[in-house]
Each structure stands twice: as structure tokens, then as C-alpha cells.
Amino acid sequence: MPDVYYARVSNFLSDSRDRTIVTGDNEEDVLNKVYDYLRSDEARSRYPAVTDPTELENNIRRCIFKKGTKVFATRAPQEH
């Protein structure tokens, strides 16, 4: 099964109502798709302060995850 990378736009733009999740085959693919989304009319109306999405490159890259690698359980295993 090929690796799937994803980024949730609300992680780096602080709008919890935006449920957009961008997926791709690698990090560069996801980054370019996020740029395309931020240049769309929907995103421009939601985020008017974002005039140049490439200025957010570092923030976007930190929010790109590989499916199946994000840690949810951080507790130590219980002893029986």
C-alpha cells in the first residue's frame, strides 16, 4: 500500500470550522495542493489575510503527516 500524506488546513490557519484535508503521494504534492487551495476563491473569502501562501511554507510543512504515524496514545502500557 503506497504512503499517503495529508495536511489539515485548520492546523496552521486556526479556523476550526474549516474541515479541508489535503492528501497526496508525498510532501511536495500536499504542499502544492495546499497552495492551490489557499489561492481558491473559497479560501480567499475565509482567510483574507493570506495574500501569498508561499510565506506559510514552514508552517504547512510542520503540519504534513504520513498516514498511520501520528501518535495518539501517549500513556505507558499498563502492567498486568
- Count the residues in the chain: 80
Q: What is the pLDDT of residues 35-80, one digit of tens each?
A: 999 999 999 999 999 999 999 999 999 999 998 776 666 666 677 6
Q: Which pLDDT score, from 0 to 100, does residue 31 have?
A: 96
Strand order in the sheet with 21-24: 21-24, 5-8, 64-66
Q: What is the pLDDT of residues 4-30, one digit of tens each?
A: 999 999 988 988 888 999 999 999 999
Q: Which pLDDT score, from 0 to 100, does residue 15 have?
A: 84
What global pTM score does this model have? 0.79
Residue type at 74 in one-letter notation: T
